Amino acid sequence: MTNKIILEIRAGAGGDEAAIFAGDLARMYQRYAAKVGWKFDVVDYNQTTLNGYKTFIAKMSGDGVCDSLKQESGVHRVQRVPATEKSGRVHTSTATVAILPEIEPKELVINPNDIEVSFSRAGGPGGQNVNKVETAVRVTHKPSGIVISSRSERSQHANREAAMSILRAKLYEQQQEAEFKKVSGERKEQVGSGDRSEKIRTYNFPNDRITDHRIGKKWHNIEEVLNGNLDPVIKAFKKIPA
C-alpha cells in the first residue's frame, strides 16, 4: 500500500455552511497528520469566509497513510446550527472527500501533447516572492477536461510537479472506475467501488454523535474527532476483514 496520497475536499450542498464544514474536515486531517507524524503539504485551495473552503487539496505522506485513510472517501454530512444561522435552525450540509493514492510517473505516462500549462501569480500567504513572480501553475488535461491548480510551492517547477502528481492520481482513479464498471456491468449499487456519490458518514452536532453508515458504528465527542482524534474511527475500520 502506498505511503503517499492526495487529499481532496470539496464543499457540497449547503452553501457557506458546506464550505465551513469542508474547512473543518481539512483541519481534522491536518491535525491528525501532525499527531501521527505524517507530512501534510497544502497544494491548492479556494477559501471562503469563516475559514471555509470550496475546495482544498493537499498531499500527505507517511507510514500507513493510505491504509489508514482510504475509508474516508465519500460524502460526509453535517447536521448543526450554522454560524451563519440567526434563528437557531439545524441545517444539513455536505462535503466530499477523496483519498487518491499518489501514482509514480512511470506507472501512468501522460502524453505532453495532451496537457496545457499556464502560469499566474500565486497570491495569498507565502511572502513577497509568491506574489511578484508567476509561480502558480494551472494544468489542463485536454482529453478528460480535468484542470489542476497548484500555488503553494515557491517555484513554477515545484508547482508543476505537484499539479502533475494530482493529475496522475485522478486519471488513475478514472481508469480504475472504468475497469470496475466494465467488470460489474451497469450495476447501480456500486458496492465496494468507493463511489463518492454515496453518503458515508453523518456528524450530528445536536446529539453529539458521528455515525458511519457503512459499518453502522457510532462515536461521540464530535469536537474531539474534528480536532484530530481520528483513531477510534480508523481502528474500527481496521478491525473489518478486507
Domain containing 123 — which CATH number? 3.30.160.20
Number of domains the chain contains: 2
Tell whether 144 and 199 lie within a shared domain. Answer: no
Q: Note whether 76 and 13 are same-domain residues.
A: yes
Bridge partners of 139, per DSSP, are 117, 148
| CA–CA dist 207, 212 (Å, integer) | 15
Quick one: average pLDDT of 100-119?
Answer: 84
Say yes or no: 156 and 209 in one domain.
Answer: no
Residue 193 is predicted with a pLDDT of: 38
* Final residue belonging to a domain, choices 184, 210, 229: 184
- Cell readout for 25 is 474536515
43: Cβ–Cβ under 8 A, 6 or more apart, which residues?
6, 57, 58, 59, 150, 152, 162, 163, 166
- Whether residue 171 lies inside any domain: the answer is yes
**How much is the pLDDT for 185?**
53
pTM: 0.76
Give tens-digit pLDDT for 129-161: 445 567 788 899 998 888 888 887 778 888 888
- Same domain? 89 vs 178: no
Q: Which domain holds residue 149?
A: 112-184
**Is 219 among the domain residues?**
yes
Lowest mean pLDDT among 52-66, 109-123, 148-162, 178-192: 178-192
Q: Is residue 107 part of a domain?
A: no
What DSSP letter does each residue of 170-195 carry, written as one string?
HHHHHHHHHHHHHHHTT-SS-TTTT-
Q: What is the pLDDT of residues 11-67, one digit of tens each?
A: 998 888 999 999 999 999 999 999 999 999 998 888 987 889 999 999 999 999 999
Q: Which amino acid is at 160?
A: R
pLDDT band at 174 (very low <50, low <70, confident <90, very high): confident
Q: Are residues 94 and 134 in the same domain?
A: no
Q: How confident is the model at residue 240 (pLDDT cuts 50, 70, 90)?
A: low
Nearest to 103 by CA among 156, 55, 42, 175: 175
